[in-house]
Amino acid sequence: MTTIDLTINTDLVRKILTGFIRTEITRMGFERAVVGLSGGIDSALSCYLTAEALGPQNVLAVRMPYRTSSPDSLEDAQKVIDALGVPSITIPITEMVEPLFERFPDMSAVRRGNIMARARMIVLYDQSAAFGGLVVGTGNKTEILLGYTTLYGDSACAINPLGDLYKTQVRQLARAMGVPESILTKPPSADLWKGQTDEGELGFTYAEVDRLLYLLVDERFSPEECIEAGFTPEFVHVVTERIRRNQFKRVPPIIAKLSNRTVGYDFLYLRDWGT
Amino acid sequence: MKLTLALAQINTRLGVPQANLEKHLALIRDAHQQGADLILFPELSLTGYVLQDLVPRVAHRPVADDPLFAPLLEASHHLDIMVGFVEEDRRSRFYIAAAYLSQGEVRHVHRKVYLPTYGLFDEGRYFAWGDAIQAFDTRFGRVGMLICEDFWHASPPYLLWLDGADLFLFASASPGRGLSQDERLESARWVDHINRAYASLFTAFVAHTNRVGYEDGLNFWGGSAVYDPNGKVLAQAPYHEEALLLTEIDLNQLHRTRYRLPLLRDERTALVQRELNRILGQRQSNSGR
């Protein structure tokens, strides 16, 4: 098996990411941020980084439990709030989503999960307006590449500090920043239904898939070279197909080109234009 | 002869030359008060880096009546200045350029020759290639300027060396990338290695000024540094933070190093020319894997 080392220098990453959050929020005319805290490791880390970047008083942590959400999730989120001293608000989404669930009683767990993720997005963006802060995202590189995310749901944000860190690296940085132990060690879960775990749903562990993604994406290995490096053909096939099928989640809606100058094709500016 | 360099490791505002000009003038005043003889700004210091469709809006010509260059030329009566800008030529081609200003005059303009158009870079889409690599005379001796990707290739520094440059002025807007356990990003480590190598191989001074700040998700890592003809780091600015780094260099070090290590004396330029002619004359021999 090829040696793959995903270890990062956490001091360096911490400096770059806090600088990124501070710069990219203040240059848009804001001083504050809003983070949805699920009780999981990704949102905990985003909250730690944002609090360090802007000062804890400028970060609003929002907890958005559903009726069946695990009580541990709420508690773990509370640990982050207490440790950082950030203001917080708890807004259950149960009353928002249940009427739609009742209207379609046969709705699949995935549909219900997507609705919950999008209801949380609505709450978060409303709190963004109320608190006067930008929404800081929590999606990591592994879930972005695998498309393990709800479009316009948990993936919606103004800036994303974690999007170029694999889950394995998120764990490393979260540990270095002092995220509570119970959050570091529990199995990752979207907590959209009882007993759901990321690794159960995906069918492989983050530790395994991160190593494969690193070869495919960062090291530009072909699928054949990954198999030569020791991964099974089935696993390589499943993962490369997932990456391909989910490209639509990684791009803005495609625009049909008609004119000589079209947004996205030949009307090209950074978001930071003029700042 | 001793000379005090000031490396202005700045952040810039994207596509707002007037705001960047004011920052330049303030730092030029600071550097002058601290006794600097020459201040060096990074690549595209007057405009910011990822310009895309802002290119035609921020382009200037390095002439006395240009509103950006007039105050810079005025300031160059106090100390020499290297600035980065977008140059539009008379036929409206746009270049990434660096100008050397001294005593109210534009002494030299270098247009970036190597425009990275791969990976995260897209310079070739927006800019024209420069077509010259030339050293030039200053009141501190003969100098050469290169911009970022120019010195990722070995030939431009080599040409400047043969053209008489003893002080290499390198300007970058280098996006940080490449994570590992190392305390530096891969891009920072790489640039440090090659600059140290150029100073050592050419027994010359290298002053590299890189910018800091963010543009969308890109971070610029700074770490501007000065190397002496022994390849030793004389001074280095911090990573990822603005800084005005002042360093005195003793040009007489050239005399001492080059007597000990006469690489310039022994360079077989006629042989290089002969072999280059031969190699470039038989095209198929250097192509393919």
Are B179 and A9 within 8 A, CB to CB?
yes
Chain A: give the shortest CA distance to residue B90, in Å.
25
**A42 known member of a binding site:** yes
Q: Inspect the interface and report whether the beta carbons of B53 and A267 lie closer than 8 Å.
A: yes
Instruction: Provide, as residue numbers in chain B, all residues whose Cβ is less than 8 Å from the Cβ of A268.
Output: 52-53
CA distance B140 to A75: 67
A20 and B213 in contact by Cβ < 8 A?
A: no
Q: CA of B11 to nearest chain A CA: how many angstroms apart?
A: 11
The Cα of A27 is separated from the nearest Cα of chain B by a number of Å equal to 10
**Options 3.40.30.10, 3.40.50.300, 3.40.50.2300, 3.40.50.620; which CATH number does A10-197 get?**
3.40.50.620
Helix (H) and strand (E) counts in chain A: 12, 4
DSSP conformation class of B67: T
Domain count along chain B: 1
Mean pLDDT along residues A24-36: 98
Q: Is A72 one of the annotated binding-site residues?
A: no
Asked if A52 and A60 count as a contact pair (C-beta separation under 8 A), the reply is no
Return the number of other C-beta atoms located less than 10 Å from residue B55's C-beta.
Answer: 18
DSSP B72-139: HHHHTTTSEEEEEEEEE-TT--EEEEEEEEETTEEEEEEE-S----STT--HHHH-PPP-----EEEB
Apex A24 CA angle, A18 and A28, nearest 5: 145
Residues of chain B with pLDDT under 70: 283-289
* Nearest C-alpha neighbor of A270 from the set A15, A35, A27: A27
pLDDT digits (tens, 9 = 90+) for A99-125: 999 999 999 999 999 999 999 999 999
SS3 B25: helix
- pLDDT band of residue A183 (cuts 50, 70, 90) is very high
Max intra-chain CA distance, chain A: 55
Q: A-chain residues within 8 Å CB-CB of B185?
A: 12
Supply the DSSP symbol for A218: I
**pLDDT for B284:** 65
Residue A177 and residue A49 in contact, taking contact as beta carbons nearer than 8 Å: yes
On the question of pLDDT at A76 being above 80, the answer is: yes
pLDDT tens column, A206-239: 999 999 999 999 999 999 999 999 999 999 999 9
Contact A260/B at CB under 8 A: no
User: What's residue A190's pLDDT?
Assistant: 85
A106 touches chain B (CB under 8 A): no
Which pLDDT score is estimated for B288?
56
- The boundaries of the domain holding residue B109 are 2-287
Q: Which residue has the higher pLDDT, A90 or B286?
A: A90
CATH number, domain containing residue B237: 3.60.110.10
Residue-range domain boundaries for chain A: 10-197
Q: What pLDDT score does B285 carry?
A: 59
Residue A3 has pLDDT above 90, yes or no: no
pLDDT at B287: 57
Contacts of A20 in chain B (CB under 8 A): 214, 217, 219
